[in-house]
Every structure is written in structure tokens, then in C-alpha cells.
Structure 1
Amino acid sequence: MSITIKDVARQANVSVATVSRVLNNLPGYSEDTKKKVLGIINDLGYQPNAIARGLINKKTKTIGVLLPNVSNLFAADVLAGIEDIAHEMDYSVVICKTDKSGERTLKYLQMLREKQVDGILFVSEWMKEEYYEVISRMSIPVVLVSTKSDYPLPYVKVNDFEASYDAVNYLLNKGHRSIGMIAGTEGDLIATSPRVEGFKKALLDEGIDDEPAIVYGDFAFETGITGMEELIEKYPEVTAVFCASDEMAVGALSYLYKKNIRVPDQIAVVGYDNTSAAEKAIPPLTTVGQPLYEMGRSAAEMLLKKRPTSNVVLQHKIIERETVK
């Protein structure tokens, strides 16, 4: 049988209201009463109900994180930053994996509303009108992570256009002129479109106005394999490939290895994100480094330490390893 706040009050010979004030650090009791109540809470093993406490102090010490894929390494690094800040500030994190249709996102938003979370971090997904309507009714702070929207919501991200532009410039400076791209999901406005536009602009600024050698995947390892195959079939002249994620880049390396195409001697490969996969790849992957952990940490700090009002654009950098000569 679970211990209730009434059991604590009865044992301490005080009112339920006094026990509640002690739990929520509110005034109205002596130091002796506080020690007595806390001692009995410890002896009985009483665990306060977060929702019940939230009705009093208007906080449940819980935040929600919505993201489209919790299994990939990008998400793992971002979540590590979020959870470290949450732990430091004594908050719990509810992680919600969404889907492409949007139905699950709406369902999770309703669940987070019912749980009265204190804030939401919305990671790497486009903010649709129906999402924003639900969030607006919740009247809690929301921060976008690795995405932005047409709505007045603050975000933490890198400049994907500039990062892609710099990756292609890096390859150009290494002497490559025939550069292909394995892009993310076609039509994706968050990560795919700005990276593709950065890729195209870097080539145009170099005076290369040929048809862009671009194929599309979905940021995953498997589409790196199929994308590399398609790219070589359509554009056999390419000597370097820029991939819109490390996972796709590692998939591309796998395909090239199986086809006995040497990296970087015959073809160079650059990834995007700087996840642990890049460091562990064979050969170790040159990539565009996003500060993923700092991204999650910064967003959580914005959410929990003050009501967020401004945007944060973090710096990317080229991480040189062994897939480009």
C-alpha cells in the first residue's frame, strides 16, 4: 500500500497543508516542524506526486522533448546536453519520438499538456500550424533545437547553409572540381534545403555551373549506401562527395569499400554532424562539426533558466580526419 501525504501529516501530528508547504519550501512552519516532517517522510519512504505538487507551486519539474528519431547518434548527443542541464536543475525529461505523419506529435503534445510539463524542447522537426496551436494553448516556454519556424519561437542551431557552403569550399580548396552530394529527405525545409542551397552556391561562386550532382536519402546509414551507388551511376566523374549526415557518409564509405574504390585516393568523402560514427569510421571521417551536445545544453538552459526570447546560432567547424586528401 502506497504512503500518502495524509499518512505523513498524521505521523507528524500536523496538517496536510503544513506537509505540503515543507515539500514545496513555502513559509509557515518552524524549523523543528520542518525537521520532524522531513524525518517522517524519510522513515516512511513517502514519494510526493509531481502533479499534485505542481498544483501548488505551478511546477512539475518536468520538461518534454519531441524529436523525430531517438535512435540516431545526432539525437543521442543533443539529448546528452539536454539531460545534463535538466539533472543539474533537478528536472525530469520526458522523451517523445515523433513520426512523419504528425499524428503522433499531436498525441504527444496532448500528453505533455496533461502532465503539465514546465516547458518543451522541439528538436529537428518542422513546426506545423497544428503543433503551434496546441503549444500556444499550453502557455509554457518552448525552444526549438536544430530547427526554426515561421512562428515567434526561439531556436538553437547552426547555420546549415553556411556550414554546407564551407564544406564544399573545403573540397574545392583541396583541388576537387567534380563534387557530388548525398542530401537528406527531399522537400525537408529544416536540414535538407539549406544544405543543398549551400552546396549549390559554393559551386556557383567557384564558376562551376554544371548540373548539380545531387541525390537524396533520409539521413540514415542505408540511404548512404544506396545514395552512393546512385551518385556514381549518374555522375561517374565525381571525385568528392558531401553527405548531409555522418550516418549517410558512413553508409557511403561502406559502399565504396565493397566496390574496392579507395578513399580518399579515388574519391573523397565529407560528412555532417561530427557524431561518434565519424571518429569510428574506417577511414575516420572528415566532417562538418555541429556542437550537438552544446546545442542541447544551450536549449535546455534557455528553457529552464529564464523564459526564452532570443535565438542562438552556434558555430560549426570542419573536422579534418582521413577521408579527404
Structure 2
Amino acid sequence: MSATIKDVAQRAEVSVATVSRVLNNLPGYSEDTKQKVMQAIKELGYQPNAIARGLINKRTQTIGVLFPNVSSSFSSEILHGVEEEAHKHNYSVIVCNTAEDGKRTMKYLQVLREKQVDGIIFSSGVLKEDYYKAMQTMGTPVVLVATKSDYDQVPYVKVDDYQASYDAADYLIRQGHRRVAMIGGSWLDPIAGRPRIEGFRQALKDHGVETRDDLILDGGFSFEGGVAATERLLASVSDVTAVFAAGDEMAIGAISAASRLGISVPEQLSVIGFDNLKLAEMSNPPLTTVSQPLQEMGRLASRKLIAMMESGAPADSEIVPHELIKRRTVCPPS
């Protein structure tokens, strides 16, 4: 049977309250008493319970993180940064997969409430009103990463999706491309769909390049969606020389579809992605892409959340810089 805090108190010949103060770094005991308590903990193999500690300091040293797709390369990059920063401050992380369209979000918010997490990081999806109300009821601070909301008191960490997409299209046009297509998300998606489409269209407009609705396709931010969208595009439009895919998985899908159709990248079709996932370096040829620093975004979100939890003060939102990473999938049209 595992040791309890009472066992530690008896072994150290102190009160349970003193053991709690030692465990939570509170004042009110001598250095000698602290050493006796720590020795008792070591001898008994006592493991402090996070919820029990929370009854003393009102905190469990845990953070809840919600992703719409935990297994994606995008989410794992952000999570790496979140965990790295959290563990540096002795916080544990509970990861929740909310599934497509946030089907499980309310369920997991209830789980996080029961676990008494100290704060929540919400990634990628739309912070719907019912999610926000549930978080307000929990009374825990929230930070958004790779998304934003209209709630002023909820800080976010993200890139400027509009400008990043503008820069991707601008690069293709400056390479000499005039028939440029886009594979992105849905226009109804206010986070990564519409802003990236708007940035793409504005870049074409500023360069006097024709914008056509049939050259903007929804790839669903997946490899399979990128393949399907590219096959539809190339079957219906013969003179496209470049594709901007608003996600690296879709971009790699575009390269794969082109290869199946006997179209060489970049000689016959230039492709540029968005994210700079590990997959971008591994694709054949290596993918030119717009990089958003996902790990750093995770670290920043975690750092802001911990500061809010420990100080009670609000945090500012932050737009992090993006960068064009030039590899081997873009060249001037032949």
C-alpha cells in the first residue's frame, strides 16, 4: 500500500500541516525540519497527489491542451513547444483530441474541469461561444495558439495568415508565374481558410494577375485533400504553372498528384506550401514553404499561460514572424 502524507508526518515526527508546507514551499518551518520531512518522503517513497496539493495551494500544476487533430505533424510541433516550456516550470500537460469540427470539445472541457487544471491552451479551431462560456465557468485562464477570437481577454499567439499567404503568392508571381492556383481551406473558416485566401487574392490583384474562382480549391488541410484538389485542378485547367497550397500536407499531396500525372515539379509545376513541417524537408523534391515557427508558438503560448496563472494578470496577444523557406519546388515557368 502506498504511503500517505500522514505516514510521512509520523516518520518525521511533525504535523501533517508542516509536511504540506514543505511540499508546497511555504514558510513556517526550520531547515532541520525540512530535511527530516524530505528524508521521510525518500524512505517511504511517498508520491504527493496533485489534487491533494491543490487543496492547499488551489493549484494542480497541470495544463490542458486542446487540439482538433493530435496526431497531425502540425499539432505535434506546437505540443512539443508547449510541453517543453510547461515542464521547465514543473507543470504537467493533459492533451485532448477534440476531433474534426470540435465534436468532442465540450466533453473534454468537462474532463479538464474535473481534473481541476490550472489553465487551458486552445489550438487551431474556432473558439465558439459555448466553449468560451464553459471556460469562463471553470475560472481558468486561456491562451489560444494558431487561432484567435473576438474575446479581448483571451490572448493568442499566431502568425499573420493574410500576410504570409500574400508573401507566398507574391514570391510565385515574382518568379514569373501568371496562372497561379491555390489549394486552401474553406472560405467559411475564419482562422486559416478565409485570411489565407484573401491574402492570396490580394497579391494577385496587386500584380495585375487574373483571379479566378476555379483556381481556388478547398483541400481540407490534408494530404488526401491536396491530391484530390490537384487532380481536379489539372484536369480542368491546362495552363496552371504554379500552386500555392495553404498547408504543407496539401502541398505534398499536390506534388504526389503531379507525379502520378507525369508532371514534373518544379519544371512544369511550381508548388509552395505553408507551415514548414518536418515533412517539407522530407518531400521529393524538398518543399519550398512559408514557415510559421510552430514550436516557438507553443512555447510562447505556454509561457503566457503560466504567467497568467501565477500572477493573475492578463497577457498580450502576439503575432509571430513568418519566413519564406526556399527549397526546390519553385522555379520560373518554362
Quickly name the TM-score band, shorter chain normalised: over 0.9
Counterpart of 1:254 in 2: which secondary structure?
helix
Distance 1:215 1:322 in 2: 23
Aligned residue number for residue 201 of structure 1: 202
Aligned residue number for residue 169 of structure 1: 170
- 1:156/1:298 contact within 8 Å kept: yes
Deviation of 1:103 after TM superposition, in Å, equals 4.2
Task: Return the letter of the residue paired with 2:278.
Answer: S
Deviation of 1:120 after TM superposition, in Å, equals 0.7
Output one character per residue of 1:83-107: Cα deviation in whole Å (capped at 9) or x when no partner.
1101111110001010235441011
Deviates more, 1:174-183 or 1:226-235: 226-235
Distance 2:211 2:277 in 1: 32
Deviation of 1:210 after TM superposition, in Å, equals 3.9
Deviation of 1:186 after TM superposition, in Å, equals 4.8
Aligned residue number for residue 16 of structure 2: 16
Counterpart of 1:287 in 2: which secondary structure?
strand
- 1:287/1:319 contact within 8 Å kept: yes
Distance 1:210 1:81 in 2: 38
Aligned residue number for residue 303 of structure 2: 301
Inter-CA distance 226–118: structure 2 relative to 1 (3 Å threshold) = same
Distance 1:230 1:172 in 2: 22
Question: Over the residues paired in the alignment, what is the CA RMSD in angstroms?
Answer: 1.2
Inter-CA distance 210–300: structure 2 relative to 1 (3 Å threshold) = closer
Deviation of 1:70 after TM superposition, in Å, equals 1.1
- How many residues of Structure 1 are paired with residues of Structure 2 in the alignment? 325
Distance 2:181 2:53 in 1: 56
Output one character per residue of 1:127-164: Cα deviation in whole Å (capped at 9) or x when no partner.
00000001111222111001001112110000000000
Counterpart of 2:100 in 1: which secondary structure?
coil
Output one character per residue of 1:280-310: Cα deviation in whole Å (capped at 9) or x when no partner.
1100000001011111111111111244421
Output one character per residue of 1:179-223: Cα deviation in whole Å (capped at 9) or x when no partner.
001112452111011001111111111122342311112111111
Aligned residue number for residue 155 of structure 2: 154
TM-score normalised by L of structure 2: 0.95
Distance 1:276 1:103 in 2: 28
- 1:225/1:252 contact within 8 Å kept: yes
Distance 1:164 1:311 in 2: 21
Gaps (5+ residues) in structure 2?
Answer: none
Distance 1:102 1:321 in 2: 35
Inter-CA distance 55–298: structure 2 relative to 1 (3 Å threshold) = same
Distance 1:258 1:149 in 2: 40
Task: Return the letter of the residue paired with 1:177.
Answer: R
TM-score normalised by L of structure 1: 0.97
- 2:65/2:95 contact within 8 Å kept: yes
Aligned residue number for residue 94 of structure 2: 94
Aligned residue number for residue 321 of structure 2: 315
Output one character per residue of 1:221-277: Cα deviation in whole Å (capped at 9) or x when no partner.
111111110111222211000001001111111111122111111000000000111
Aligned residue number for residue 125 of structure 1: 125
Aligned residue number for residue 106 of structure 1: 106
Deviation of 1:171 after TM superposition, in Å, equals 0.2
Aligned residue number for residue 232 of structure 1: 234
Distance 2:208 2:261 in 1: 32
Inter-CA distance 313–117: structure 2 relative to 1 (3 Å threshold) = same
Distance 1:98 1:254 in 2: 29
